[in-house]
Each structure stands twice: as C-alpha cells, then as structure tokens.
Amino acid sequence: MTTGSPLTPATGGSEQPAVELVRITKEFPGVLANDRISLELRRGEVHCLLGENGAGKSTLMNILSGMVRPDAGQVKLDGRVVEIVSPKHAIGLGIGMVYQHTSLVPQLTVLENLMLGEAEGIRLNAGRARERLRDLGGSLGLDVDPMTTTGTLALGQQQQLEIIKALWRGSKVLILDEPTSMLTPAGVAELEQIVARLKAQGLAVVFITHKLHEAISMGDRVAILSQGRLVGAIEPEELRTATHDELQERIIALMFGGQQAPAAEVVELTDEVEWHAPRRPSDAEPALELVGVTVEPGPGEIGARDVSLEVLKSEIMGIAGVDGNGQRELAEVIAGQRSPASGDIRLFGHSITRLRVAQREKLGLRYVTDDRLHEGTISSLSVAMNIVLKQIGKPPYWERGRIRYAAILAKARELIARFDIRTPGPMTRVGALSGGNIQKVVLARELSFDPKVVVYSKPTYGLDVKTTRSVRQTIREQAQAGVTSIVISTDLDELLDLCDRIAVLSRGSITGVVENGPNAQQRIGELMIGGKAA
C-alpha cells in the first residue's frame, strides 16, 4: 500500500461504526420517503439495502451523499455528528457514491476523468496521477489504460472506473447504487471480487439492490426497506448460518410484515431471469426497417453509427445496452425528432426518412419518451390536455381551430379509466401526479389513437413494482393486438421478460441480435463484451 492511498488496512468489524444514521426522516410532498430510519455502516462490511423501487433506499443514500437534506435525524461519522450540506462536502468527508448512471465525461480519457475531481492546484500533474491510478487499480486487481477515452469503455469497465474515481477522492464509505442492473453475469462476478477487495481494505460498502438473491449473496448485513421504513435487518451471524432458502423466506416475511405476500410480487423479487419463448409468427413482414442509419452525436452524446435493424410486424424487439450508448439518438431518429446523417428508415416498406414527426405520427408511429416529465408531458397542463396534445387541431377535439372541451373531457375520462390513471380528475395538472401515473398518461396518449409501431424508451424506469407490471402488461397486450414494439431498456431482465428478439446497442452500433430464449442472457453478455475496445 503506497502512501497517499485512501485505503487503510482492515481493522476488524465490530468497534465504532464508520457511519451512523439516526432516525433519518425525509418527506417529499405527498410521500414519506424515509421514516425514522436508523442504520450503522461498519468498516470492512458490505451492507445491503434491499427494497423495491420507491422504498426509500436511494433517498437515504442521497442524504448520506449530500444530494438531499434530511428533514430530521442525524448523520454521525466516526461518532461525530456531521451535517452534510452538499455532494462536494460528502466527498470531502470520505463518502463516495457510484450511481447507476455514469458521471464520467465520455470524451475525456480515463486519467482526465480522474483528475477532474482533484481539488487542489490549478496545474494537473499527469505523472503523479498515472502512478496513483496504477496503485489504486492494482489494489483492486484492475488494469485500466489511463489513456483510453472513457466513452469507448464497456459498461463494466466504466463502473470500475467510477469506483476508482470514488477511491481517488479518498472515500472511506462507498455507496453502490444498483450496481448490477446492467451487468452481464461475468461482470457481476468481477464486481463481487472488487467488492471483496474493498471490504478487505477496510471500506464500509453500501450495496443498494432490489434483488433478493444479490442481497443474500453479497451482503454481510442486510437492511430491508419498505415504503420509507426500515422493516427488518439480517445480522451477519444469521447470514452466515442460514441457508439461501431460509433467508429468502425470512426476508419476504419481513418485507410484507408477516402477512401473506402476493405471489406475483414474490416472483418479482426472487426470480433471477425469466425469459419467454418468442411468439413471433415466422412469416411476418418487416414493419420498421433501419438501413445503415448514422446519427451525428449532439453534445455529450455518442450518436449512432451505421445501424441496420429489421423489426417484424407485431413482434417486440428489445434494444439492450448501457444508458448513453446511442439509445436516445436512435429513438429520436425513428420518431423524426432529428434527422439522420445518412441511411434510410422505412415503415411498412415506405421510406419515412424525410417525413416530419407529425407525418410519421399519422402513419401510426409512436414514441414513448423516457423523459416523461420534460418531454412527454407539459406539467402545467391538465391530464386531459396532455392526452390530446398530439391531436392539436384535429377533430373532434378541435373544430375549425376552436377547442372543444366536451370532446376532450369525454376522451380523457375514457382513457383515465382504461389506463387506470390515478388522478383527482381529468383537469388536474399532470405535474401533480406521481411518476407512475404520469407514465400512464403518456402511454394513454401514445397507445390510444390507432398506433401501429411504438418505440418505448425505458418504459418502466423509476416506477414501482405494481406499475411496472401493469406497464409491461400493456406492452404485451398491444403486441398481441398486432402493434409492433421496440423496447429500449437498460434493464436486461425487463427485455428478457418482454421481448421476442433483443438487439445489443454498444457505442452507437448494433453489435448483434439475439433470439430470446434460455441462453439469451449469456449471449447478450457476450455481445456486450465483444464490443469492448482494447
């Protein structure tokens, strides 16, 4: 271990905790995200935070990392009460967080990204930084080329770099937010080894996950969160001695407060990967074709290079890949929101490359954007208005340019019922609804005016288990009704659950298309790694 390394040798687990969270409470309007949660993080331990989306895991850790200020409660570091006022402050205190979404600047090299976080001095000392990277990488068993452009790294490597970046800044507490969500099985194994080394070096590691088996296999301690409350904890003792099945049963019991857990939710929590066989008719014709589509990257984007893809009628085609690998560029070029530098896009055999958004819309092409708050809806407009936003000017909602409230309200009421949108009324502002209901508003609009081909971009991102299930069900029903679907997702399980075929998108190119089936996950993993440079 070199001097200047933040890693100190393991000091054994049981004296004073590195971090104590005491009765942390945080309320967002309408939601008690954290309700008097107390937690102790110890050096040399992996503490798993388990709970479904919306249980309050991320809020709790955002409080620790300075992103969110708590309404009540204390944070103690080494027994001292501290008030963490900003992410910068948290980093200064030795708390590092690795998010699901990369914070690396893709155009910069590995070394440049690491030096970005350096606090002291104006001049950059590349030589010293290079040495430090070698030390840190070595201590984790990683070999990273300092001069590689980070944008060209595979997902797993980017994540490893994020971990190094956190250590670079001297983190003693490392928070990993759903780190396995987009890793291949091999990537997960690699991550496990890194976490073991971090542990051995005496770091307190927090591992946020919503997957039961991960919590059991990775954690020295498991804290179970549900609806903002800490509903139970599994101590190291128990984790070591009990069998996997016993632990699983116990955790499920804790999560549902001793009541009988709904079967579907248990499946949701315990299953690792659920694939289904393609149900695509073999003689189907292509509905949407991309032929050599290239998109110039915008600022901070990767663009798309020579993408060719054929989506058959009424099939569900998945597009897998890490966020920021050209998904948005591809979705927008299909929807017509930007134009390709070259290549052709065909809908039912006819080129639509030169058509505008509204014209493609008329042909039955729909785009469910992942940015439902700032792109997919206008939060200051009512639910009813948002539902007809793509019908502006068309009868029966507008007659000779004049708005017809009666027709709009009638349609809105119908769709609110059909899509089970929980809203006080059709004239409630969309901004007042929860994320899940906003997503339902978007789906109601995109799926109810005779859609033929729908592009879904991260359709269940940030939604709770129940809404996720209903959204996926909607996608399936649409497909059964003959609608062709393209599902872009960063959640492999979601794609395996939904799709007939899955294309892998890596750094703006399709590296392969996989038929869904027993070996799909592994093959997708190979395709992702196969796209790795260097």
Partner 1 sequence: MTETAAAAELREPPRPGAATRGQAQLGRVGDFLLRSILPLLLALVTGAVILWAIDVDPIQYYKDVYSGGVEFAAWQDSLMRVAPLLLIAVGLIVAFRAGIWNLGMDGQFLLAGAVIAGVGSRMEAHLPNTLNLVLLFFVAGAVGAAWTIVPAVLKARYELNEIITTLMMTFIGINLAQILVKGPFQDPTTTTPQTRAFDFTALLPAIPGTDSISRRWPGVHVGLVVAVLAAVAVWFLLGRTSFGLRLQVLGASTRSARHMGLDVSKLIIVAFLLSGMLVGLAAATEILGVKGYQRADWNPAFGLWVVPLVFLARLHAIGVIPYVVLLALASIGGDFAAQNAGLTPRFTLLLVGLTLLFMALTEWVARRAQLGGSYLPGASYRRQRAEGAG
Which CB sits closer to partner 1, 95 or 335? 335
Bridge-based pairing of strands 350-351 and 72-77 is: unpaired
Which CB sits closer to partner 1, 74 or 181? 181
Give, in order, the Cα–Cα distances in Å from 196 to each of 214, 375, 498: 14, 42, 34
Which CB sits closer to partner 1, 441 or 499? 441
Which CB sits closer to partner 1, 413 or 476? 413
- Least distance to partner 1, CB of residue 426, Å: 7
Give, in order, the Cα–Cα distances in Å from 155 to each of 116, 162, 171, 181: 20, 11, 22, 11
Which CB sits closer to partner 1, 100 or 149? 100
DSSP state of 382: B
- Least distance to partner 1, CB of residue 64, Å: 12
Q: How many CA atoms lie within 13 A of 119 on its CB side?
A: 7
- Least distance to partner 1, CB of residue 357, Å: 4
Which CB sits closer to partner 1, 106 or 512? 106
- Least distance to partner 1, CB of residue 260, Å: 25
Residue keyed to tokens 């790795």: 532
- Least distance to partner 1, CB of residue 305, Å: 23
477 burial level (CB within 10 Å; 0-12, 13-18, 19+):
exposed
How far apart CA 299 and CA 151 sit, in angstroms, is 13
- Least distance to partner 1, CB of residue 425, Å: 5
Q: Are 454 and 484 in contact (CB under 8 A)?
A: yes
- Least distance to partner 1, CB of residue 122, Å: 21
Q: Spell out where 313-381 has E strands.
A: 316-320, 342-347, 350-351, 365-368
Ordered DSSP codes for 440-503: HHHHHHHHSS--SEEEEESTTTT--HHHHHHHHHHHHHHHHTT-EEEEEES-HHHHHHH-SEEE
Closest CA to 316 of 460, 481, 469: 481
Q: Are 161 and 153 in contact (CB under 8 A)?
A: yes
Which CB sits closer to partner 1, 291 or 381? 381
- Least distance to partner 1, CB of residue 533, Å: 23
Residue keyed to tokens 């008097």: 36
Contact positions vs partner 1 (CB under 8 A):
28-31, 33, 53-54, 56, 58-59, 62, 67, 87, 99-101, 103, 177, 335-337, 356-358, 360-361, 367, 369, 371, 373-382, 385, 389-390, 392-393, 398, 401-403, 405, 409, 425-429, 431-435, 438, 461-462, 464
Which CB sits closer to partner 1, 74 or 227? 227
- Least distance to partner 1, CB of residue 456, Å: 14
- Least distance to partner 1, CB of residue 233, Å: 21
- Least distance to partner 1, CB of residue 206, Å: 14
Q: Are 215 and 272 in contact (CB under 8 A)?
A: no
CB atoms within 10 A of CB 20: 19
Which CB sits closer to partner 1, 255 or 527? 255
3-state SS assignment for residue 200: helix
Which CB sits closer to partner 1, 173 or 234? 173
| Residue 250 backbone dihedrals phi, psi, to 5 degrees | -65, -40
Which CB sits closer to partner 1, 188 or 389? 389
Token reading at 522: 């592994």
Give, in order, the Cα–Cα distances in Å from 364 to each of 312, 447, 453: 15, 10, 6
- Least distance to partner 1, CB of residue 225, Å: 12
Token reading at 359: 């014209």
Token reading at 216: 């059991």
Which CB sits closer to partner 1, 108 or 378? 378
- Least distance to partner 1, CB of residue 512, Å: 28
Which CB sits closer to partner 1, 335 or 510? 335
- For the stretch 424-447, what's the b/e string if a residue is b when 16 or more beta carbons lie within 10 angstroms of its beta carbon? eebebbbeebbbbbbbbbbbbbbb
Q: Please, what is the end-to-end C-alpha distance for the chain in angstroms?
A: 28
Q: Nearest-5° angle of CA 300, CA 105, CA 69? A: 100
State the DSSP H helix or E strand holding residue 512, giving kind and residue range, or none if neither.
strand 509-515
DSSP state of 149: B
